[in-house]
Structure 1
């Protein structure tokens, strides 16, 4: 039993900054579990929250954690169990959930880990536990691999929404960790040629390690012209915009074929305005399909894909830091010469 007054090290937002503090252990109520964090991915949205640029949710940091059950108030989770915990879980009963929009559930973003995933220990609330927000990790899935369940789940849900067909040419704009996961998942979904672009030499070179066929530096070539050249003048069947940059969104739209589909996946900054002629959408029948986050059916599928080794997510890990090194991890994550940064406790 861990005493509730024992201090633990946590990274939280305070006065608009990420700080490392000692906090009391969360107190459990019936239905909650306490997890000792072992690994948690540093997401681009964490960095955006720290920089004050994220628009979609409250500024709680760390949503890709795995760990070991320390205390449990439910029968099916025992101390010592290796688990992944999902931070946002819908009700599955409201109008939005029943209409197939569970991430729009009014309860979805009200749920979260306490005090967040970048903590020696965190509480998973009963709401999440009761609705499938905790998954046991098989023995063949490491804590680091488990830290990819949430990001891969968002990719799985997004690609279902945009409906990649067998043999589709897929163009990915932005090849950070999420763009690379999209490339890997597109291969699982039997895409044909995969083209990608970024403004970083490091990331464009890294793209070839995960099976991208053509990886373009947008600072060195006209990306739209190149995509059309590689597709006999048509453009991509499916474009995945894994960046919130306005110029990335516009280039993705312009590189999509007539009748093609554009997945809006990266989160644009608040106030983003596009310099784009909307009439082109109608005249060319281009569909824009946004996708926001994931739910439990997606996390279960992500775990199965990782466990069955359909995707080797460890290829994306470039840096590892302890909780004490969190600020250095953020600095490295912002610089661009990193793909996936993992925080461990």
Structure 2
């Protein structure tokens, strides 16, 4: 009879049950991790509250995983029992054309984390493919595993500001004051941005954002954000505008906030099937560069991990709530209302 573990299992939209499930068996050539901490991501919330698997339930989500190697298959030499690691959720093949050109985030032979049971559980199994490809990082002794969960959201935000070269003197507008927007704000400042403008419709999120070094906070439910950005930039517009939210309206507004020859980034994915109407004359005549951002290449993943666990990044200011896994539904609600900036769940603690 299989050993049991606790997990937060999704049975459908907004139907997440904390219950006993079978512990994973150690795959041939793979290993098992005892999860110490797992972040609750915006994409997790979207997946858990919609019919993300088109009826293919039950399923366990969770991909911002930090834990201790619990069991290792015979012959596996790169991992040892007791080793504390962060596991990047997607294992790039490093061999396809996209990987070889440096675009690992577009890997055509990736092992998607949503294809296997995830980290909202006490234990998670990783296959031989993961062992062969790596994308795991050892956490130094004494380092906070809770803070290390931020390495995953850090990777994509770090890649974004690097790819568009946020640099000394830039004015940067970020639409969306969730964890991603905060990450983008902090990283933009670290790269030398002169003026950072953060926009959201949720005043609670903006209030939390005030704890960080952000120049202007705009509540777009109370004022016209385009007019306000233009006012704050002397009608020039911003060097870079990043739409970091699931709104088509925000994408429309973003191109109106950018200066001539500026850069607009569509960072946040919108609901599938929804289309954004864009005034392409503005894009054309203003010479805008429109950049779709997703993921990070392997070197950006590594750099982001190192930054996330460093003293230079305010991890514990971003993580506002730490809850046992059994309170995942509370974590979802706290995040959706804006009361929580970032929630981290502890599967092996009560």
Q: Residues 31 and 129 of structure 1 are in contact (CA less than 8 Å); yes or no, is this contact kept in structure 2?
A: yes
Question: 1:115 aligned to 2:117?
Answer: yes
**Superposition misfits of 4+ residues, deviation over 4 angstroms:** 111-114
May I ask how many residue pairs the two structures share in their alignment? 340
Q: How many angstroms does 1:166 deviate by?
A: 1.6
State the match for 1:338 in structure 2: 340
SS in 1 for 2:274: coil
Aligned to 1:47: 45
State the distance in 2 between where 1:140 and 1:222 align.
47
| Aligned residue number for residue 8 of structure 1 | 5
SS in 1 for 2:254: helix
Distance of 1:230 and 1:296 partners within structure 2: 37
Q: Counterpart of 1:323?
A: 325
CA distance in 2, matches of 1:113, 1:314: 31
Question: 2:60 & 2:264 partners in 1: Cα distance?
Answer: 30
Structure 2 CA distance for partners of 1:140 and 1:290, relative to 1, 3 Å: farther
Provide the secondary structure at the position in 2 that maps to 1:108: coil
Deviation track 1:119-150 (CA, whole Å, cap 9, x = no partner) reads 10001222223222211111353111110000
Residues 115 and 54 from structure 1, CA distance in 2 versus in 1: closer, same or farther, beyond 3 angstroms?
A: closer
- Check whether the contact 1:112–1:125 (CA below 8 A) recurs between aligned residues: no
Using the TM superposition, give the Cα deviation of residue 322 of structure 1 relative to its aligned residue in structure 2, in angstroms. Answer: 1.1
Residue in 2 that maps onto 1:70: 70
* Residue 215 (structure 1) aligns with: 217
Per-residue deviation at 1:53?
6.7
Counterpart check, 1:202 vs 2:217: no
- Post-superposition shift, 1:270? 0.9
* Residues 111 and 326 (structure 1), Cα distance of their counterparts in 2 relative to 1, 3 Å cut: closer
Aligned to 1:262: 264
* Secondary structure of the structure 1 residue equivalent to 2:68: strand
Output the CA distance in 1 between the equivalents of 2:224 and 2:252.
13
Question: 1:1-345, aligned counterparts within 5 Å?
Answer: 5-16=2-13, 17-52=15-50, 61-73=61-73, 74-111=76-113, 114-345=116-347
| 1:98 Cα deviation from its structure 2 partner | 1.8
Matches of 2:186 and 2:67 in 1, distance apart? 25
Cα 1:173/1:194, change in 2 over 3 Å: same
- The CA deviation at 1:117 is 0.9
- Is 2:60–2:121's contact at 8 Å kept on the other side of the alignment? no
Q: Could you tell me how far apart the structure 1 residues matched to 2:12 and 2:311 are?
A: 42
Structure 1 distance, partners of 2:336, 2:148, is: 23
Distance 2:142 2:239 in 1: 36
CA deviation digits over 1:141-164, x for unaligned, max 9? 311111000000011112222221
Distance 1:54 1:301, change over 3 A: farther
Show CA shifts across 1:31-60 (max 9, x none): 3121111111101111111122769xx975
Cα pair distance change 1:199/1:15, threshold 3 Å = closer
Secondary structure of 1:67 counterpart: strand
Going from structure 1 to structure 2, the CA distance change for 1:60 and 1:266 (only over 3 Å counts) comes to farther
Q: What's the Cα RMSD here?
A: 2.0
Q: Report the Cα distance in structure 1 between the residues aligned to 2:52 and 2:199, rounded to whole angstroms.
A: 23
